[in-house]
């Protein structure tokens, strides 16, 4: 009896560490950071971190969907800047927050549809197609603004600097987007198709999935997130910055990958991405709180990314290995 109980406990623990390894890393970081700096574990600082990560995390959710389907979007940072710039310009021209917001989202969708079209129609590798979009969108943002920042945004700042019941608006948007992503991935046919395409595209096509249409939809949805992020970004910094978001696509991918999304496709979750984003957010924040020198920060960040991902993969492999073992045993019995 006691033996059985301890077996069950061990099984439970191993399941916990494999399935929820990423959550355990987050928890460990929370504890360690709180011990390192008294300023870390306070409502104000946690809200501060959430606000800081919100914009790249919104992009991360779109990126997660794309990576699950075996796609990628290198243009996210540039498209975000273009969408944000045009949204600011439209706001300054019309004075309407709603039209400005819609413009940003539409620009994001439009740019990504072009990328999606090039990927699906011409069979261009997503890496190349979105690399091209990255340059073009940045060029367009610079051309439109003549390389200058746009100032005096007046009411436009409420998207990024406002709050609802004390919670910063971008954080609320991030939570909504995470729920939307979770719903799309888990409860819709579109979501299941993304996993199927990422797992094995030929098999997916053979089973009747409209692969191209699903890919276009994924690009469009991620474009909408990117456009929304652009509006929030410009609003948060209270300026239209044509140089904004350089390298954001990599921050977005990092959160995704730390959160367990696999670059080989077919694997990834919305909650994992959110946790991955918080891990990076905690890390950036604690290093600044402790006053760690800039150059050193970059090295530490690289190290933590490798450790987190390696631990996650190792614990998952253990799980797969034990499952395979079970199957073999069962095979012998039969």
* Site for other proteins, rule CB under 8 A: 37, 39, 42, 44-45, 48, 51-52, 92, 138, 142, 146-149, 151-152, 161, 233, 236-239, 241-244, 284-285, 288-289, 291, 294-295
Q: How far is the CB of 141 from other proteins (least distance, A)?
A: 9
DSSP 292-311: --HHHHHHHHHHHHHHHHHH
Question: Token match 């991935």: residue?
Answer: 185
**Closer by beta carbon to other proteins, 37 or else 212:** 37
Q: How far is the CB of 92 from other proteins (least distance, A)?
A: 8
Q: How far is the CB of 95 from other proteins (least distance, A)?
A: 13
**Closer by beta carbon to other proteins, 219 or else 282:** 282
Q: How far is the CB of 266 from other proteins (least distance, A)?
A: 34
How many Å apart are CA 252 and CA 274, to the nearest integer? 10
Q: How far is the CB of 242 from other proteins (least distance, A)?
A: 7
**Closer by beta carbon to other proteins, 225 or else 282:** 282
Residue 21: how many other CB atoms lie within 10 Å:
20
**Closer by beta carbon to other proteins, 230 or else 272:** 230
Beta-strand runs (E) in 182-290: none
How many Å apart are CA 264 and CA 70, to the nearest integer? 7
**Closer by beta carbon to other proteins, 21 or else 56:** 56
How many Å apart are CA 186 and CA 193, to the nearest integer? 11
Residue 269: how many other CB atoms lie within 10 Å:
20
Nearest residue to 233 (alpha-carbon basis) of 156, 130, 314, 300: 156
Q: How far is the CB of 146 from other proteins (least distance, A)?
A: 6
Question: Token match 């790249």: residue?
Answer: 56
**Closer by beta carbon to other proteins, 12 or else 41:** 41
How many Å apart are CA 65 and CA 62, to the nearest integer? 5
């Amino acid at each position: 009896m006691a033996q059985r109980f301890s077996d069950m406990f061990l099984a439970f623990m191993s399941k916990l560490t494999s399935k929820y390894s990423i959550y355990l890393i987050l928890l460990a970081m929370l504890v360690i950071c709180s011990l390192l700096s008294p300023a870390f574990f306070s409502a104000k600082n946690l809200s501060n971190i959430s606000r800081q990560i919100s914009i790249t995390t919104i992009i991360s959710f779109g990126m997660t969907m794309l990576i699950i389907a075996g796609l990628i979007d290198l243009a996210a940072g540039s498209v975000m800047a273009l969408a944000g710039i045009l949204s600011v310009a439209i706001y300054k021209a019309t004075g309407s927050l709603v039209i400005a917001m819609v413009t940003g989202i539409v620009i994001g969708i439009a740019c990504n549809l072009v990328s999606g079209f090039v990927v699906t129609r011409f069979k261009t590798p997503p890496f190349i197609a979105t690399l091209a979009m990255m340059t073009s969108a940045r060029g367009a943002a610079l051309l439109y603004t003549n390389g200058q920042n746009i100032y005096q945004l007046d009411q436009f700042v409420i998207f990024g600097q406002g709050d609802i019941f004390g919670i910063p608006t971008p954080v609320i948007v991030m939570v909504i987007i995470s729920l939307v992503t979770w719903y799309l991935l888990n409860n819709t046919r579109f979501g299941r198709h993304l996993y199927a395409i990422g797992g094995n595209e030929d098999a997916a096509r053979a089973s009747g999935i409209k692969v191209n249409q699903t890919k276009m939809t994924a690009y469009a949805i991620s474009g909408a997130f990117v456009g929304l992020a652009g509006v929030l970004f410009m609003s948060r910094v209270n300026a239209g910055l044509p140089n904004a978001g350089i390298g954001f696509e990599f921050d977005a991918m990092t959160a995704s990958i730390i959160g367990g999304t696999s670059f080989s496709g077919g694997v990834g979750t919305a909650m994992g991405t959110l946790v991955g984003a918080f891990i990076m957010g905690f890390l950036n924040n604690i290093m600044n709180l402790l006053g760690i020198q800039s150059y050193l920060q970059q090295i530490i960040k690289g190290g933590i990314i490798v450790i987190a991902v390696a631990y996650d993969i190792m614990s998952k492999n253990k799980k797969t290995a034990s499952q395979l073992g079970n199957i073999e045993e069962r095979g012998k019995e039969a």
